[in-house]
Amino acid sequence: MIEKIEELAVKFKDRIAYSVGENKVSFGGLFERAQKIAKELGGKDKFPVAVVGGRSADTMAAILGCIIAGRAYVPIDVSTPKERKNRIIKASNASIVLDCTDTGITCEKTENGVFSESENETAYIIFTSGSTGEPKGVPISYENLDNFIRWITALEPMDGFEHEAVLNQAAFSFDLSTAAIFYSLFKGHNIVQIEDKNDFCGIFKTIKKNKTGVFVITPTFMRLCLLEKSFCEKEYPFLKCVYFCGEALQKSLVKAVFERFPNVRIINAYGPTEATSAVCAVEITKETIEHEDILPVGKIDSSATEIFIDDGEIVLKGKSVFSGYVGRKDERYFEKGYRTGDLGYIRNGLLYCIGRNDSQIKFKGYRIELMEIEKNVLDIPGVEDCAVVAKKNPIGEVRMIKAFVSGKIGEEEIRKGLSEKLPEYMIPKITVLEKLPVNENGKTNRKELMSL
């Protein structure tokens, strides 16, 4: 992989590789920055490196620097609460923190790790929501990543584009970003980064300014884009392809996209963080939405990853699947295999996903364990009981997370306590009750709470 990156840096030396705001960096310039960082990270220490930052070119260079140095990078978004950030650094056993939050990059050693000369096989570690109340680390190996890069760069129609601008909406700590990053780098494209996801006008300015031809986004982000009435083929004729992943894609949204962009090509991809971002994909056409009640999430291709159904659950096995969580066991993982917890079926060589068999949800593209939110609420002094539920719209999409709490405490105190532990997207709408309702079995009546 390192040799290939070096080849690309020479081959596409003067091409723009990364754009964020007014800052544009060529392949040659980005690789030069990454080499300097790799040199600082050099030596025999092969422990992971925590990369703390936003969406700057420095953060991108730091990630590449870790790869060149043969050290796993652990992306931590700048918005991550301090307590959670420290837990991730400790859990990953990162020996160095590269802070890219200000101008330039600062390097700080941690107290983690005992010196080791053993070779590192991990490319990156992404932390996701965990049902135990602690974020869990998903280590992705170089073999996993190599397999994913081969798959996504050969994916039709994305394999046929030449020096496109590729929109990445995701933070580096969200595994959807790996699709945009590694697809773009290994195809010689320009990664166009959304600088501020909350700047609605800025999003469209960025898209237009860079003539972004490929989107790597969640369905939630596309719904946001469609709120702008001028977002259509006439005003954005350069949009060629949208790669959707991270959430269920609904027919209604696809229809709305085709109404605005009749000639755009749409890809629906599927895969958990544990299987290197995605393992299968399928193009969704106008004919697809006419003949399918539920949209397929991918074609079955056993040459890349074996996908099968066991008692209604989607199970993955093969080169894209991770080798187990950092520092913890989980019954979902088995030798080169992973029980996803997603329910689905296979028909005519296509995979369909129809829900979950546990309390895990997808919200704003992020994977969230409701139990993690509950456990963190219960840890707040003054809270006596708590139940967290996901409110859905008529087509099954999560539109709101609500926490019902009892105890001698107010909503603002709970929100403040959670903001110190959880990222913003995991903080629910809070309702304080005198007591939580119970059913005839003496358990919390979540069905009743869903109606409140």
* pLDDT at residue 328 in the model: 82
Does 382 lie in the same domain as 326? no
Q: Which of the listed residues 352, 369, 384 is the one where a domain comes to its end?
A: 352
Q: What is the pLDDT of residue 303?
A: 65
Asked if pLDDT for residue 110 goes beyond 80, the answer is yes
Count: domains in the chain: 2
Of 301, 336, 319, 302, the C-alpha closest to 145 is 319
**Could you tell me the pLDDT band of residue 358, with boundaries at 50, 70 and 90?**
confident
CA 376 to the chain's CA centroid: 22
Q: For residues 381 and 317, state if they share a domain.
A: no
**Are 80 and 229 found together in one domain?**
yes
319: pLDDT strictly greater than 80: yes
Q: Identify whether residues 369 and 340 lie together within a single domain.
A: no
Whole-number Å distance between alpha carbons of 440 and 431: 23
Whole-angstrom distance, CA of residue 101 vs CA of residue 54: 6
* Mean pLDDT, residues 123-131: 90
Q: What confidence tier does 27 reach under pLDDT thresholds 50, 70, 90?
A: very high
Q: Over 70: is that where the pLDDT of 113 sits? A: no
Residue 9: count other Cβ atoms within 10 Å of its Cβ.
21
For the chain, give the mean pLDDT.
91
The closest of 303, 343, 304 to 320, measured between CA atoms, is: 304
Q: What share of the chain is helix, strand, coil (3-state, %, to 5)?
A: 30, 30, 40
Claim to verify: residue 345 and residue 406 sit in the same structural domain: no
Q: What is the pLDDT of residue 203?
A: 93
Beta-bridge partner residues of 347 = 350
Q: Looking at the structure, tell me whether residues 105 and 136 fall in a common domain.
A: yes
Residues 326 and 439 in one domain: no
Q: From the DSSP assignment, how many helices (H) and strands (E) are in the chain?
A: 13, 25
Cα–Cα distance measured from residue 386 to residue 345, given in angstroms and rounded to the nearest whole number: 35
- If one compares 346 and 447, the residue with the highest pLDDT of the two is 346
Answer whether residue 117 shows pLDDT above 60: no
Say yes or no: 260 and 407 in one domain: no
Q: Average pLDDT of 339-361?
A: 91
Residue 134, pLDDT > 90, answer: no
What is the amino acid identity at position 192?
V
Which residues have C-beta within 8 Å of that of residue 85, sequence separation ≥ 6?
52, 76
- The domain boundary, picked from 319, 352, 385, lies at 352
Sequence-separated (6 or more) residues with CB below 8 Å from residue 48:
71, 72, 73, 74, 92, 93, 94, 95, 122, 125
Domain boundary among 299, 330, 352: 352
Point out the least confidently predicted range of 248-252, 274-278, 443-447.
443-447
- Kindly tell me if the per-residue pLDDT of 120 is higher than 90: no
Residue-wise pLDDT for 50-109, tens only, equals 999 999 999 999 999 999 999 999 999 999 999 999 999 999 999 999 999 877 899 999
Higher-confidence residue of 102 and 31: namely 31
Q: From its phi and psi, is residue 221 left (phi > 0), alpha (psi between -120 and 50) or beta?
A: alpha
Q: Helix, strand or coil for residue 45?
A: coil
> Residue 362: pLDDT above 90?
no
Mean pLDDT, to the nearest integer, of 336-348? 92
Q: For the residues 280-294, what does the mean pLDDT come to?
A: 93
* E strand intervals along 285-392: 298-299, 305-310, 313-318, 333-334, 337-347, 350-356, 360-363, 366-369, 383-392
Mean pLDDT across 37-51: 88
Domain CATH for 213: 3.40.50.12780
Q: Are residues 306 and 446 in the same domain?
A: no
Q: What is the pLDDT of residue 84?
A: 93
The SS3 call for residue 230 is: coil
Residues 295 and 403 in one domain: no
Residue 42, pLDDT > 90, answer no
- What pLDDT is stored for residue 394 in this prediction? 81
Q: Tell me the residue type at 82.
A: K
The model's pTM is 0.88
Residue 118 banded pLDDT, cuts 50, 70, 90: low
Q: What is the DSSP letter of 119?
A: P
Mean pLDDT, residues 20-47 taken together? 91
> Which range marks the domain in which residue 392 is found?
360-450
Sheet with 190-193: strands ordered across: 23-26, 16-20, 190-193, 165-168, 214-217, 241-244, 265-270, 280-284
The predicted model gives 141-166 an average pLDDT of 94
Over pLDDT 90: what percentage of the chain? 71
Domain CATH for 375: 3.30.300.30
d(CA 274, CA 127): 10
278 and 365 both lie in a single domain: no
Same-domain check for residues 343 and 368: no
What whole-number distance in Å separates Cα of residue 282 and Cα of residue 243?
10
